[in-house]
């Protein structure tokens, strides 16, 4: 999954990315541990899961950064970034990777079908 998210993670000003299922389980996480602007109680994001079921995307702006949430068929993509990152570029990269996430999810189901 690292390959799918590499374009977003490598963007200047993007400090992390979390991809989690609709149930709140973390499927992928990459957060820069040296970024001090991340709120200390950030791990409580999974409490938003019931609300996220009804949204397509959201952009949260706080004192030292932004959080962009994007719903997918399997869950939600959360991008943690600084205050001056181009949100248009983040959205474009998310649009590009959504089909890849669908393909990876459907491919994992077929693996068990063809095992001997």
Q: Say which CATH number the domain at 17 has.
A: 3.30.450.30
- Percent of the chain residues topping a pLDDT of 90: 24
**What are the helix (H) ranges across the chain?**
2-9, 49-52, 87-113
Owning domain of residue 28? 2-113
Q: How many structural domains are present in the chain?
A: 1
**Any idea what the Cα angle at residue 52 is, between residues 38 and 59, rounded to 5°?**
50
**What was the pLDDT predicted at 11?**
92
**What was the pLDDT predicted at 23?**
80
**What was the pLDDT predicted at 116?**
46
Alpha-carbon Rg for the chain, nearest whole angstrom, is: 15
Whole-model pTM: value is 0.78
Res 104 pLDDT > 70: no
């Amino acid at each position: 999954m690292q390959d799918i998210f590499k374009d977003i993670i490598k963007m200047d000003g993007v400090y992390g990315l979390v991809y989690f299922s609709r149930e709140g389980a973390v499927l992928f996480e990459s957060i820069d541990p040296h970024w001090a602007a991340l709120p200390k109680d950030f791990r409580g994001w999974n409490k938003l899961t019931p609300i996220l079921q009804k949204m397509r995307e959201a952009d949260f702006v706080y004192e030292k950064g932004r959080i962009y949430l994007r719903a997918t068929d399997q869950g939600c993509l959360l991008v943690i970034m600084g205050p001056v990152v181009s949100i248009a570029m983040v959205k474009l990269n998310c649009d590009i990777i959504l089909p890849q996430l669908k393909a990876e999810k459907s491919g994992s189901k077929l693996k068990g079908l063809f095992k001997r």
